[in-house]
Structure 1
Amino acid sequence: MSASSAFHDTFGHGAAGGYGKSLPRASFGKAASPKGAASGRGSRPKQAPLRLTRRGRFVFFGVPLILLAALILSLGGFLNAPAKASESASELSVTPTVSVTVQPGESLWAIAGTVAPERDPRDVVADIVQLNNLDAARVRPGQTLFVPVK
């Protein structure tokens, strides 16, 4: 390869020395086709690599991660749910309770200590709240409560 043809291949100069002037293909041989032009073999020009924007990265990675986290939390709640009461009615047991009317100045703590002095008052208060579907451990005078006896 001569220095002239190497220069031509590198910078695209024609044999006459000008840019863009083309000579017949036979005079250049295989090196005559300009770079990036499609050859007869069906080659495609190179594409730029895929670049994701910040929003694209969030959509591509963030949305599936959020959905996966929601699925895991849902399954975790389902698997940690309290067990059902029993398989049949014969296995059910009734909690013995007494009905107590709240007096002025009386609290759940005092009622728990009166009804079940042998048990921890915190457990009895929790049972009273659960049995009566109370939102909080506050009661009003005159309110009737079901209190567990055992």
Structure 2
Amino acid sequence: MVSQRINYLQIAGILTVLAALVHIGCIVFGGDWYRFLGAGEHMAQLAESGHPYPTIVTSVISAVLLLWASYAFSGAGLIVRLPLVRLGLILISTIFLARALGFYFIMPAFPDNSLTFWLTSSGICLILGLTYSLGLIQRWNLIGGKA
């Protein structure tokens, strides 16, 4: 029997796509989703009133998450090698870990977000940051050569 190792970057990519889909769900389903996910009453009301701000912010977050998932899949060897894949994965890992561990310092900038939002999203970012980091370590030599 052939033993297969877990490809952490593949897992990171899948989890990141799921996070992007949840954000897209907020755009599609509106205020109730923003409320349920803890984005704050203000964002929920803006979404319900048809204001473009929640859609713009959430679309940008979704696009960034999908780009990051592409880098994970590229590093996992599942799609074409993207430019600066190693550096990109280092930065993505660092951003997720910094967001997970530094949430306390950015909380005041978003006073409408619930504590549940901060704890849940920070936990998710921690899992993603660790998964990207493990994948980067696991595939360092494979993604370091010339394309």
Bin of the TM-score, shorter chain as denominator length: under 0.3
TM-score, with structure 1 as normaliser: 0.20
Q: Which has the higher strand share?
A: 1
Higher relative contact order structure (alpha carbons within 8 Å, sequence separation ≥ 6): 2
Q: Which has the higher helix share?
A: 2
Larger radius of gyration: 1
TM-score, with structure 2 as normaliser: 0.20
